[in-house]
Amino acid sequence: MFDIQEFYEAKSVEDAVKALSENENAEVISGGTDVLIRVREGKDAGKALVSIKNIEEIKGVKMLENGDLFIGAGTSFTHITNDPLIQKHLLMLGEAVDTVGGPQIRNMGTIGGNICNGATSADSAASIRALDAIVHLVGPEGEREVPISEFYTGPGKTVRKWNEVCTGFRIPRENYEGWSGKYIKYGKRKAMEIATLGCAAMVKLSEDKKSILDCRLAYGVAAPTPIRCKKAEESLKGADIHDEKRMEEYVKIALTEVNPRSSWRASKEFRLQIIATLAKRALEEAIRLQGGEIHA
């Protein structure tokens, strides 16, 4: 049994905002793969749930007139993975959300719920952080845009107000065009596993594919919130893709920017090991995807 005060099916984003604003005990539910678990465990018992599951305007992936990509918050993981625009421009994100749970979870779960839960272990979080996405929120005062770098405020916490609805995530054209990226999830098993660590690396190579013009490195579960290792990124700009000394320095710097904790899944020391390994491995895979020749 679920201890739910009431359940309301919103007909539009505005309808959902109104329902949320009228009850401070209300909570948004979309796919329900996280919310219903919390309710069953008693963490959110007695909540009034406002469902945005059937609001079509917040579903799907589209390219805007300026070339930016917009992913509706209500888009399921399965849809994202299989969407032609994602496969062409954001393959890293498509692969990342394809590691979430099993097929049933991916069919139900949405990217909006995954990000708005604020969990640093969310499989979409590292990729969205690396892509510097813009979060679109709608509340009683209207719409606002929040850079993903400012969205997380702590473990399981974000700047989204209780009566705001996340409508989607915008990926600026300059954040995906000309880039290649790779997401690697580390877990104790290959399926149905919450990430022990998630790493997303992106790279933009020179025309001859021999040097790094720019790169990005983002992690989930390496700190209280998903993070970018910007000092490590800067250290590799202009480096030859075969420069092992620069690569080693990049890994060392990344380790100074993270702050993992020990948990029942892994110790802090083990996570630091994985962070170092994946910093190099994910970047090398991204380089290969862009046509650079990396010899193991």
| Full DSSP string of 208-246 | TSSBEEEEEEEEESSSSS-EE-HHHHHHHTT-BTT-HHH
How many Å apart are CA 25 and CA 78, to the nearest integer?
Answer: 31
**Residue 42 pLDDT exceeds 70:** no
Q: Which is the CATH superfamily of the domain at 180-289?
A: CO dehydrogenase flavoprotein, C-terminal domain (3.30.390.50)
The string of pLDDT tens digits covering residues 61-96 is: 999 999 999 999 999 999 999 999 999 999 999 999
Between helix 244-257 and helix 268-289 the angle, nearest 10°, is 130
User: Where do you find CATH 3.30.390.50 in the chain?
Assistant: 180-289
Which residue has better confidence, 39 or 244? 244
Residue 120 confidence (pLDDT): 87
Q: What is the pTM of this model?
A: 0.92
Which residue has better confidence, 7 or 57? 57
What percentage of the chain carries pLDDT values higher than 70? 93
Give mean pLDDT, residues 120-149.
96
Q: Are strands 157-158 and 61-63 parallel, antiparallel or unpaired?
A: unpaired
Inter-CA distances, 255 with 12, 73, 138, 151, 205, Å: 45, 32, 37, 23, 24
The string of pLDDT tens digits covering residues 168-187 is: 999 999 999 999 999 999 87
Give mean pLDDT, residues 138-144.
97
The string of pLDDT tens digits covering residues 198-208 is: 999 999 999 99
pLDDT band at 36 (very low <50, low <70, confident <90, very high): low
Residue 33 confidence (pLDDT): 72
The string of pLDDT tens digits covering residues 150-166 is: 999 999 999 999 999 99
- What type of residue sits at position 19? A
**Residue 189 pLDDT exceeds 80:** no
Residue 84 confidence (pLDDT): 98
Architecture of domain 4-51: 2-Layer Sandwich (3.30)
CATH 3.30.465.10 fits 56-174, yes or no: yes
How many Å apart are CA 280 and CA 247, to the nearest integer?
Answer: 7
User: Where do you find CATH 3.30.465.10 in the chain?
Assistant: 56-174
Q: Are strands 165-171 and 69-72 parallel, antiparallel or unpaired?
A: antiparallel
- Tokens for 181? 């990226």
How many Å apart are CA 31 and CA 76, to the nearest integer?
Answer: 8
> Taking the C-alpha atoms of 26, 31, 34 and 38 in order, what is their torsion angle to the nearest 10 degrees?
40
Longest dimension (CA), the chain: 61
Between the two ends of the chain, the Cα-to-Cα distance in Å is 53
User: Where do you find CATH 3.30.43.10 in the chain?
Assistant: 4-51
